[in-house]
Amino acid sequence: MREYTTVIGLEVHVQLNTESKAFCSDKNQFGDAPNINIGPVSLALPGTLPVLNTEQIKSSIKLAYALNSKINLVNGFDRKNYFYPDLPKGYQITQDRLPICEGGILKFHSEGQLKSVRIHHVHMEEDAGKNSHDLHPTYSMVDINRAGTPLVEIVTEPDLRSAQEVHDFIAALQQLVRYLDISDGNMEEGSLRCDVNVSVMPKGSSTYGERNEIKNVNSKKFAKTAVEYESKRQIKILEQGGAITMNTLLFNPETGTTKPMRTKEEANDYRYFPDPDLPPLQLTQEYIDDIVAQVELLPWTAKTLLIDEHHLSEYDAEIISRDKGTVQFFRNFQISKDQHHASTLSSFIINKVLPFCQENNKVLDDMQVDNISKFILLLDSEKISKSAGLNAMSELVLKSTEPMDLEKVAKDLNLIQSEDQDFLDDLIDSILSKNIDKVKAYQNGKKGLLGFFMGQVMGQAKGKANPKILTTKLSKALEEKDL
């Protein structure tokens, strides 16, 4: 069998989190009872006219900025005509000739490598309503609530080369729209959906094969499975001497397979034309600059900030920056500005706070920031041993709802390392006496054994030994022990 390269381009629909719909004041809200957010415009009653929602434009501008797209100062709306019960107007308002953004790039990590995908363009449009064919035994149901939900559609160049890359690209885009706070990016609820275009070509070739388009994929995992299945299907046809014909496919999550929805011959003729109800949109550079200035953080600037300003490790910065809320949570701590405490704080967030929130269905806002802050300071102090403190007190701090007196808790738990470390002298003496051959080896040059003795004493001191004082005392005792 010949080897093949899979080529994928995506058309990603993102529902914007605006208060109202794209062209009227109906509420833009997922999950409401069917057919309640349906004023005259959503229902396309005769005589109604669309009014543009400026929030949709602002969201598109923010996205354009993040993707490094060129914004068309003049852009316009077109009608895409087709007939379907979930589309009362008989056309969808979209941008066909002149989209708001052209070009751009999104960089993302996949399997340890930095990849980049070119953006062809981003356009604004509106969602249709929703038909359900499985809610009633004999009727199909139509819910118009979704009709008119503002969308941006991001169309990539065919730059993706594997199912995993598709998965990781969607994840990066999802992270980006959440950072920009233009969408919740929730794929299960359909806030982010992809049309996945797949073709294959012999390895080394530079001519793309004929593509098939898998419609409306609503999970990263499904997108991955769909690409894997579809590229295998196409390769099999080519290997058997057949040819790929351009089809629109549906993905079945239950079987992990694709099946034809319509062929090229049955393709819709949308008869696009400029929407006479919506004059061209004219933007000024000042307006754009104003909106762009509102963008606080992007995933990649957040990561750099955590490394440069807070001196976090690459690993910690990567995890903290996955979600903008976590970055803000971390940066809101005064102690995050101190290099010494920043790393203790970030490990505490990564290893304790985030898992705690996930397991207990809590959000970062529920956490007692003051207690956490005091706890980190205590851990970083000489007063208690960090590992003993983390073991004994993390739960209490995470579960706390009231301000805590952490030093008192540490004292009650017998964790305070006494200022007076004289008790160590006897302990050291007894441990040295029990390990005479190791002391001899130490004195003969095996200085690495200091670690062994440290471990022994720390263990028996049950968290009360101050490591600094212990090191000094122990080195001295080892040198001076009479054999």
Nearer to ligand ADP, 38 or 122 (CB): 122
CB-CB neighbours of 402 under 10 Å: 7
| Contact of 126 with 23, CB cutoff 8 Å | yes
Cβ burial of 112 (10 Å; 0-12, 13-18, 19+) is: exposed
Residue 10 Cβ vs ligand ADP, minimum distance, rounded to whole Å: 5
* Distance separating alpha carbons of residues 206 and 222, to the nearest angstrom: 28
* Distance separating alpha carbons of residues 167 and 10, to the nearest angstrom: 11
Task: Provide the pairing of β-strand 212-217 with 247-252.
Answer: parallel
Nearer to ligand ADP, 205 or 294 (CB): 205
* Distance separating alpha carbons of residues 203 and 5, to the nearest angstrom: 5
Cβ burial of 306 (10 Å; 0-12, 13-18, 19+) is: buried
Task: Provide the pairing of β-strand 113-126 with 150-156.
Answer: antiparallel
Nearer to ligand ADP, 186 or 248 (CB): 248
Residue 5 Cβ vs ligand ADP, minimum distance, rounded to whole Å: 10
Name the residue whose CB lies closest to ligand ADP. Answer: 9
Residue 195 Cβ vs ligand ADP, minimum distance, rounded to whole Å: 7
Nearer to ligand ADP, 153 or 275 (CB): 153
Residue 212 Cβ vs ligand ADP, minimum distance, rounded to whole Å: 9
Paired with 14 in beta bridges are 152, 192
Nearer to ligand ADP, 211 or 303 (CB): 211
Residue 25 Cβ vs ligand ADP, minimum distance, rounded to whole Å: 32
Nearer to ligand ADP, 57 or 198 (CB): 198
In the structure encoding, which two tokens stand for residue 322, read together? Answer: 């996955």
| H and E: helices and strands count for the chain | 17, 17
- Contact residues for 107 (Cβ-Cβ < 8 A; gap 6+): 114, 115, 116, 172, 300
Residue 251 Cβ vs ligand ADP, minimum distance, rounded to whole Å: 16
| Contact of 50 with 278, CB cutoff 8 Å | yes
Residue 117 Cβ vs ligand ADP, minimum distance, rounded to whole Å: 9
Residue 101 Cβ vs ligand ADP, minimum distance, rounded to whole Å: 14
Nearer to ligand ADP, 9 or 299 (CB): 9
Nearer to ligand ADP, 246 or 392 (CB): 246
Nearer to ligand ADP, 268 or 328 (CB): 268
Handedness of CA 31, 192, 211, 238 (dihedral sign): negative
Residue 156 Cβ vs ligand ADP, minimum distance, rounded to whole Å: 5
In order of 36, 159, 193, the CA distances from 197 in angstroms are 35, 11, 13
Where do contacts with ligand ADP occur on this chain (CB under 6 A)?
7-11, 155-158, 197-199, 208-209, 211
